[in-house]
Amino acid sequence: MKKILLICAWIIGWIVPCFAQQSLRLSLDDAITLANDSSLTAFRYRNMYWAGYWEFRTFQADRLPAISMNVAPRYLRYITNRYDSGMDRDVYREQQLFGADGYFSLTQNVDFLGGTFYMNSELGYMRNFGYSKSTQFSAVPLQVGYKQNLLGYNAFRWDKRIEPLKYEKTRKQFVYHMESISEEVAKLYFDLAMAQANCTLAQSNVVSSDTLYAIGERRFKIASISQADLLTLKLDKVNAENTLRNAIIARKRAMTALGNYLHIGQGTEIETLLPEHPAELYIPADKALALVGENNPLFLDHQQRILEAERTLDKTIKESRMNASFNASIGFNQVADNLGGAYRNLLQQDLVQLSVSVPLVDWGIRKGKKNMARNNLEEVRLSARQEEISLEEDVMVTVDEFNIQQTQIANAREAYNLAEVAYEQTQQRFFIGKMTVADLTLASNRRQEAQRNYILALQEYWQNYYKIRRMTLYDFEHGEPLTNRFNFNTGMYK
């Protein structure tokens, strides 16, 4: 129900921006849900997933029996050279011919052997309209055979190893990309939250600076403060107004960036709701590393690349040796002047074919190709291991930062509350003349810095949280793999 309401709000944001400015209050979870459902980035990632899905379905279909039919009618009219026995000489004669061939075939690939089993049925028709008219039917009611390379490269066996791995990588990459959306939304969301907080604080500072300058003028008239202090208060007033204008621009830019990412209409005013203090969630580094090795699509990508390099090496080695292919079939055929006769008194049709290819001299080409394939395999293995080490280091650092950020958030929140109280008390004491302008300015700066540090601490926490989820594809809060939460038939969260 919550998802439906968010989508409805998104639609409204596009339909009616010309009539009134729409307002949409979004929590971080709401923004992530909306991005996963409606953003252009999510749409692109779904298309990437469906491409991999249908590629795997094609591989599966290629393992099943394939049935095909081909019909090819033809008409020929031409002048041909013929020998006339009565005249004992060659003559040119007009020839007209209509023919048609029909072909029905069933094939089945045999992965283990690398060959193809086939079953054919053919029917041909030929009608000659020339000097000597004739009609013939040629039929092959059934032909059964098998063909394969005896010593060569078996593409079927390699595909059977690689294609399921590619599809599993596609599935996990889809979840990985969707989690990267959460991470990106968290950044844009807190950028807007920071811009809105700065704008609110700037508005408050404009009001406060106006009040303080008015008080300062009255106190200057009674010589309670110096002219330098009065000029400082006026400078603070001017600076507060400039800061507010810049804050409004920054808020608009941040809102546009988030709205464009969520695919929300530009007339929609987005209001962020800062998430509450996160619950205690400790992530063991060893568990995170184990989950990365188990779930991260990078490891599947490395396995695929290594298998593909091994496949290339296997193909290069076997193609450099002697090769032999075998084709054998048995069937029946007949030719007659009528269709029924073509299927009576069938004659046996046999085929046994053995083809051998032996390379003799190639001036080192085969050796060079094998060495290049071996070197490429070794480079792929080394590169994959280096990327895995970098990923594991990134996981360790991110998990360590995440585990200490909960304490940092609590401290930043406490510092913000203290700075807020200190500023209010300093302002009240300034009103009664017990604090100087310098004290008030210092308290205001501390309040702004404390608020900024608190929002930044929240942003770093949630971005690291979604980064860890992306790298491990695991929901530590609920203790389950993220792949369990996706419906891969629809490309949506369950």
Q: What is the mean pLDDT of the chain?
A: 84
The answer to whether residue 172 scores a pLDDT higher than 90 is yes
pLDDT digits (tens, 9 = 90+) for 396-429: 999 999 988 888 888 888 888 888 888 888 878 7
Alpha-carbon separation of residue 453 from 198, 256, 267, 459 (angstroms):
12, 24, 31, 10
Three-state SS annotation for the chain: CHHHHHHHHHHHHHHCCCCCCEEEEEEHHHHHHHHHHHCHHHHHHHHHHHHHHHHHHHHHHHCCCEEEEEEEEEEEEEEEEEEECCCCEEEEEEEEEEEEEEEEEEEEEECCCCEEEEEEEEEEEEEECCCCCEEEEEEEEEEEEEEEECCCCCHHHHHHHHHHHHHHHHHHHHHHHHHHHHHHHHHHHHHHHHHHHHHHHHHHHHHHHHHHHHHHHHHHHCCCCCHHHHHHHHHHHHHHHHHHHHHHHHHHHHHHHHHHHHCCCCCEEEEEECCCCCCCCCCCHHHHHHHHHHHCHHHHHHHHHHHHHHHHHHHHHHHCCCEEEEEEEEEEEEEECCCCHHHCCCEEEEEEEEEEECCCCCCCHHHHHHHHHHHHHHHHHHHHHHHHHHHHHHHHHHHHHHHHHHHHHHHHHHHHHHHHHHHHHHHHHHHCCCCCHHHHHHHHHHHHHHHHHHHHHHHHHHHHHHHHHHHHCEECCCCEEHHHHEECCCCEEC
Pairing of strands 347-357, 268-273: unpaired
- Which pLDDT band, with edges at 50, 70 and 90, does 493 fall under? low
Tell me the whole-structure pTM to 2 decimals: 0.77
Position 491 confidence tier, pLDDT thresholds 50, 70, 90 = low
Has residue 435 got a pLDDT over 80? no
Looking at residues 280-293, what average pLDDT do you find?
Answer: 90
- As a whole number, mean pLDDT of residues 286-311 equals 93
pLDDT of residue 459: 87
Task: At 240, list the tokens.
Answer: 């507060």
CA distance 193 to 181: 18
Q: What is the pLDDT of residue 347?
A: 86
Tokens 């300058």, residue located: 213
Which pLDDT score, from 0 to 100, does residue 365 have?
A: 79
Distance of CA 379 to CAs 33, 247, 382, Å? 41, 51, 5
| Mode of pairing for the β-strands spanning 115-128 and 134-149 | antiparallel
Residue 277 has what pLDDT?
66
> How far is residue 328 from each of residues 115, 117, 284, 334, measured CA to CA in Å?
12, 10, 62, 20
pLDDT band at 11 (very low <50, low <70, confident <90, very high): very low
Q: By percentage, how much of the chain surpasses pLDDT 90?
A: 27
Distance CA 332, CA 350 (A): 8
* Confidence band, pLDDT 50/70/90 cuts, at residue 4: very low
Name the residue with higher pLDDT: 490 or 213: 213
At residue 297, does pLDDT exceed 90? yes
Instruction: Beginning with the edge strand found earlier in the chain, give each strand of the sheet holding 134-149 in spatial order.
Output: 66-84, 89-110, 115-128, 134-149, 323-336, 347-357
Using pLDDT thresholds of 50, 70 and 90, give the confidence band for residue 380.
very high
**pLDDT (tens digit per residue) in 455-487:** 888 889 899 999 999 999 999 888 889 888 877
pLDDT per position as a tens digit, 81-134 = 777 777 778 877 777 888 889 988 999 888 778 888 999 999 999 888 866 678
274-284: average pLDDT: 79
* Least confident interval from 186-200, 220-234, 360-374, 448-462: 220-234
Digit-coded pLDDT (tens) for 61-74: 888 888 888 988 88
